[in-house]
A and B are shown apart, each in its own frame.
Chain A
C-alpha cells in the first residue's frame, strides 16, 4: 500500500512558540491531504483540507491563522501550530488519498508546556 510519513512523531514545546509538522507521501503524489486532531479518548476531527498550490480549506471552528497549512509540493504538506498554548496539546494526524483510499501518517503528539 501507499506510504505516508509524518514527522515528528512527538514534540514538546513551550507556550508561545510555533511548531511545524510535516506530512509526506513517499511513493505517490497527493494534490490533496487532510489534517486531523484527536483529543484523548475522542475521535479524529477533521481540521482542514490541504490543497497543493492553493489555499487550504478549513473546517468550521478551526482558526486558519492558528493552524497554518502549506502544501508546496505534490508530496509534502505542513501544519504549523502558531503561538501554541497548552490547549493545543493533542494528537495530530495527516492523511493522503490515493485511488479513493485514505493512507494515514503515524501521527504527531504535541505537548505544549
Chain B
C-alpha cells in the first residue's frame, strides 16, 4: 500500500534552477522523510522533518510540512546535474514508535547541464 502521492511525477529543469517536489499523505504521522535514489541504487536519506516542525533546511535542501493539509514539499535550490535522481517522500503512521514507513510514488528529477 502507498500512503502518499507526489507531484510532479517527472520534472526536468536546467542546471542552476530550483526544483520543487510535493508530497501528500493520508494519515497522521510521527515524521516525514525525503530520500533520493539514483537509478538502480539504494536510498540516500536526505532529511527528516517531525510532525511538530514546519520547515527544515539542510544545505541546498528546504523541506516544509503542513500537517493540516497533510502535505510536504522539497525544494532543491541551485540544482546541479548530479541532483538527477528519483526523490521519494516516506511517512510513518502515528501508531507506535515502530510503525511501518510507507513511500510515495516518487518524482523523477532530471537536471540538464
Q: Which A residues are within 8 Å of any B CB, using their own CB?
A: 1, 31-32, 34, 36, 41-46, 49, 59-60, 91, 93, 95, 97, 99-107, 109
Contacts and interface: CB of A to CB of B under 8 A. Distances in A.
A1 B43 CA distance: 14
A97 B48 CA distance: 13
Contacts of B85: none
Contacts of B103: 36, 43-46
Interface of B: 1-2, 30-31, 33, 35, 40-43, 45, 48, 88, 90, 92, 97-98, 100-106, 108
11 contacts: A31-B98, A42-B105, A43-B103, A43-B106, A59-B1, A60-B1, A91-B40, A93-B43, A100-B97, A102-B90, A107-B42
Contacts, number: 61
A100 B51 CA distance: 12
B100 A101 contact: no
A40 to B, nearest CB: 8
A43 B105 contact: yes
A107 B103 CA distance: 15
A101 B101 CA distance: 9
